[in-house]
Amino acid sequence: MDEEMSQGMLRLGRREFAVHEPVIMAIVNRTPDSFYDQGATFRDEPALARVEQAVAEGAAIIDIGGVKAGPGDEVSAAEEARRTVGFVAEVRRRFPDVVISVDTWRHEVGEAVCEAGADLLNDAWGGVDPKLAEVAARYGVGLVCTHAGGAEPRTRPHRVTYDDVMADILQVTLGLAERAVGLGVPRESVLIDPGHDFGKNTRHSLEATRRLGEMVETGWPVLVSLSNKDFVGETLDRPVKERLIGTLATTAVSAWLGARVYRVHEVAETRQVLDMVATIAGHRAPAVARRGLA
């Protein structure tokens, strides 16, 4: 195996991803009140159809969430597990090779979904429950270490300030990543995430994007969750259903700067953007190259 590939390999579930291989993580919300799709995949059959479509369009990871990120009705750990565990087991049965991620901050839910076949725990709230990393270590699954600015789960930022937002992002995510490895999480299965919009205002999220290369330079694979977020909406003054172009522009910049995993709603469009950037960068050949050769 090429030395660069082996050194930068990302291993999740049964899959291995080389250093210059962009990876799509498709969002499947098992919530009745999700901000983007308003519960379109809350029921099993639409959710399974969404998984099938996402895999067909090029997603390697399916990210299953049982609690809306923003404020809303209280969702207990038991209810979150009810929404996700059986679904994880069914996705595992139908799609044995897909990487299954679960978006949760609770160790009780993490334990249950790992038992059901999850490969990755996506901790979007920055280690608020330190036992979640212990669960990842015990099951040998991957972990996403996110910067959330110390925010409590499901709260919105209010007048949050940083002396240097990227310095804070690096301190938090690298600390969480090293702790996870120290607990026994496989190093090649740990990712870091700047946490766009989590504990940040729009200017913070834009700066985190602009300086994403600083995260990439640490050597940890970087995951970005950009899809239709408020910082895109505020930048362009667009409602949630009109943020695709801004999201794809931000995706292209993040890809050029070296992000590895992209958590998205629109898989097919993201795949084209990532393929285009990878080809410009010289990491992928054109799908067709006939021009000037006939």
pLDDT (mean) for 189-211:
98
Pairwise CA distance, residues 107 & 129, whole Å: 7
pLDDT attached to residue 206: 98
Percent of residues, the chain, with pLDDT higher than 90: 89
pLDDT attached to residue 42: 65
Instruction: Band the pLDDT of 43: cuts 50, 70, 90.
Output: confident
Does pLDDT of 36 surpass 60? no
Instruction: Band the pLDDT of 4: cuts 50, 70, 90.
Output: very low
pLDDT attached to residue 2: 42
Strand residues in 98-217 grouped as ranges (E): 99-103, 120-123, 142-146, 190-193
pLDDT attached to residue 6: 46
pLDDT attached to residue 91: 96
Query: How many other C-beta atoms can be found within 10 angstroms of the C-beta atom of residue 245?
Result: 12
pLDDT (mean) for 208-227:
98
pLDDT (mean) for 10-34:
92
Instruction: Band the pLDDT of 44: cuts 50, 70, 90.
Output: confident
pLDDT (mean) for 173-182:
98
**Contacting residues for 14 by C-beta, under 8 A, at least 6 apart:** 96, 97, 99, 119
Does pLDDT of 3 surpass 70? no
Catalytic residues: 229, 263
